[in-house]
């Protein structure tokens, strides 16, 4: 559960008196001597700047406090809390960074609120989270903490949590918290890559290019994000391309352990890497590794809409042997004259372009009239975005999976 709270019960928030640090003699940011023009957002950012060097310590203290005071909430969290601790600080940082950007903040929190339904989060859980969050911040940010800073955090938490609660309530009216999905096919492609196909227990609405959170029966409450590998199908089946990574609990279970008949759980669809069919601009698609899965879905989506817009796909991998889905992509190219597929490898012979995706993209073009889509490892996305901006594609026409969601979540 990331930061959030029940805004209708703001009076429940705040640390115990014994946890509040003694005010320093010198004026502290956010305390009685803080400048009068300090905005709420500035006070939040000062606190985060102070705790950033000790973020692991602060979040560990927060969860220890939460589970000590509210042991019934421990069942909502995975056994191993490492990734969860990271997500809490990232959520706080995102909220504080966009505190004055209402549209961006609301969109981010709405997604969190909907996503938290699959964990079993209820409105009555948020006050406990807020209480312990304030307690952890007060204990570990003595230089920036004070009455005004505490008031700023309580006010912000009240607002943020209410957005999440309202989003979850709206989502409850149209979709379940999760879907049961039976594995109907498991196709190994390489020693560490498999295509897993599932049948949801009820209709699952999504758009090509989106992704979902997935939980296996072997690691309860551990959810990982995977992109849909096709556009919506008439038979309702969903496919995912999964690469087993070292120490990856979910990915190794899906690649090496899952078999037809096993039942997984799916969260709701997320992501905005979708095609705008109101324009006929060409599509420039970069897919690295299993990131080719949503790119394949986008190609199917364009084909289903009957468009003839140009689609240029660069499919990247470390070596030719890692281009596990190249035959599928080349067959699609043969069926659609508007589609071009170029395999790209980091190094090595074999008919593919070499030097990595960014370098290969620079060799072709021009691309300034194209809509760009990227999917793959976070480093590839960062380099790809820089390359695409450099070759003239405006940033607002570059779409990709959220890097924050990708980091540490595909394992």
Percent of the chain at pLDDT above 90?
58
Mean residue pLDDT across the chain: 84
SS (H, E, C) the chain: CCCCCCHHHHHHCCCCHHHCCCCCCCCCCCCCCCCCCCCHHHHHHHHHHHHHHHHHHHHHHHHHHHHHHCHHHHHHCCCCCHHHHHHHHHHHHHHHHCCCCHHHHHHHHHHHHHHHHHHCCCHHHHHHHHHHHHHHHHHHCCCCCCHHHHHHHHHHHHHHHHHHHHHHHHHHCCCCCCEEEEEEEEEEEECCEEEEEEEECCCCCCCCCCEEEEECCCCCCCEEEEECCCCCCCCCCEEEEEECCCCCHHHHHHHHHCCCCCEEEECCCECCCCCCCCCCCCEEEEEEHHHHHHHHHHHHHHHHCCCCCCEEEEEEECCHHHCCCHHHHHHHHHHCCCEEEEEEECCCCCCCEECCHHHHHHCCCCCCCCEEEEECCHHHHHHHHHHHHHCCCCHHHEEECCHHHHCCCCC
Res 310 pLDDT > 60 = yes
What the block records as the tokens of 44 is: 């939040």
Sequence-ordered list of residues with C-beta below 8 angstroms from that of 147, at least 6 positions apart, any chain: 31, 32
Q: Quick one: pLDDT band at residue 394, thresholds 50, 70, 90?
A: very high
Res 144 pLDDT > 80 = yes
pLDDT (mean) for 178-194: 97
Question: Distance between alpha carbon 233 and the CA centroid of its chain, in Å?
Answer: 24
Nearest Cα neighbor of 208 from 283, 302, 128, 70 is 302
Determine the pLDDT at residue 411. Answer: 56
Res 83 pLDDT > 80 = no
* CA distances for 249 relative to 78, 166, 178, 189, 190, angstroms: 12, 33, 20, 19, 18
Pick the range with the lowest mean pLDDT from 12-21, 113-122, 261-270, 390-399: 12-21
Determine the pLDDT at residue 128. Answer: 92
Residue 16 CB-density burial (10 A; 0-12 exposed, 13-18 middle, 19+ buried): exposed
- Residue found by looking up tokens 């390489």 in the block: 190
Q: Quick one: pLDDT band at residue 363, thresholds 50, 70, 90?
A: confident
Give the bridge partners for 80, in sequence order: none
> Which residue did the predictor score with more confidence, 17 or 290?
290
pLDDT (mean) for 234-251: 95
Determine the pLDDT at residue 183. Answer: 98
Give the bridge partners for 181, in sequence order: 200, 264
Determine the pLDDT at residue 352. Answer: 63
Q: Quick one: pLDDT band at residue 19, thresholds 50, 70, 90?
A: very low
Determine the pLDDT at residue 35. Answer: 41
Buried b (16+ CB within 10 A) or exposed e, 384-400: bbebbeebebeeebbbb
């Amino acid at each position: 559960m990331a930061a959030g709270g029940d805004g209708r019960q703001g009076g429940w928030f705040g640390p115990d008196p014994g946890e509040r640090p003694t005010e320093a003699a010198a004026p502290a940011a956010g305390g009685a001597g803080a400048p009068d023009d300090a905005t709420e957002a500035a006070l939040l950012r000062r606190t985060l700047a102070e705790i950033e060097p000790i973020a692991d310590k602060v979040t560990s203290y927060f969860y220890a406090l939460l589970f000590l005071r509210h042991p019934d909430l421990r069942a909502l969290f995975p056994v191993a809390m490492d990734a969860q601790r990271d997500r809490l600080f990232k959520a706080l940082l995102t909220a504080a960074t966009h505190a004055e950007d209402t549209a961006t903040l609301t969109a981010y929190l709405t997604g969190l609120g909907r996503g938290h339904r699959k964990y079993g989060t209820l409105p009555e859980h948020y006050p406990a989270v807020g209480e312990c969050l304030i307690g952890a911040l007060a204990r570990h940010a003595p230089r920036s903490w004070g009455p005004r800073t505490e008031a700023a955090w309580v006010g912000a938490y009240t607002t943020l949590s209410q957005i999440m609660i309202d989003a979850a309530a709206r989502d409850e009216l149209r979709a379940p918290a999760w879907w049961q999905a039976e594995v109907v096919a498991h196709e190994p492609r390489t020693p560490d890559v498999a295509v897993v196909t599932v049948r949801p227990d009820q209709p699952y609405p999504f758009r090509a290019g989106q992704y979902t959170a997935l939980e296996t029966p072997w690691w309860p409450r551990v959810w990982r994000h995977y992109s849909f590998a096709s556009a919506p199908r008439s038979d309702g089946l969903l496919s995912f391309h999964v690469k087993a990574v070292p120490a990856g609990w979910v990915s190794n279970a899906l690649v090496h352990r899952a078999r037809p008949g096993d039942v997984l759980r799916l969260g709701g669809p997320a992501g905005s890497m979708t095609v705008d069919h109101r324009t006929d601009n060409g599509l420039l698609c970069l897919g690295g590794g299993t990131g080719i899965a949503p790119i394949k879905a986008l190609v199917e989506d364009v084909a289903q809409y009957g468009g003839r817009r140009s689609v240029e796909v660069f499919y990247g991998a470390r070596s030719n042997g890692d281009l596990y889905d190249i035959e599928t992509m080349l067959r699609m190219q043969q069926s659609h004259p508007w589609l071009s597929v170029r395999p790209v490898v980091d190094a090595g012979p074999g008919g593919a372009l070499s030097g990595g995706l960014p370098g290969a993209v620079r060799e072709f073009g021009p691309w300034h009239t194209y809509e760009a889509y990227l999917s793959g490892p976070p480093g590839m996305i960062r380099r790809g975005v820089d390359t695409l901006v450099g070759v003239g594609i405006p940033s607002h026409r570059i779409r990709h999976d959220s890097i924050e969601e990708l980091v540490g979540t595909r394992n």
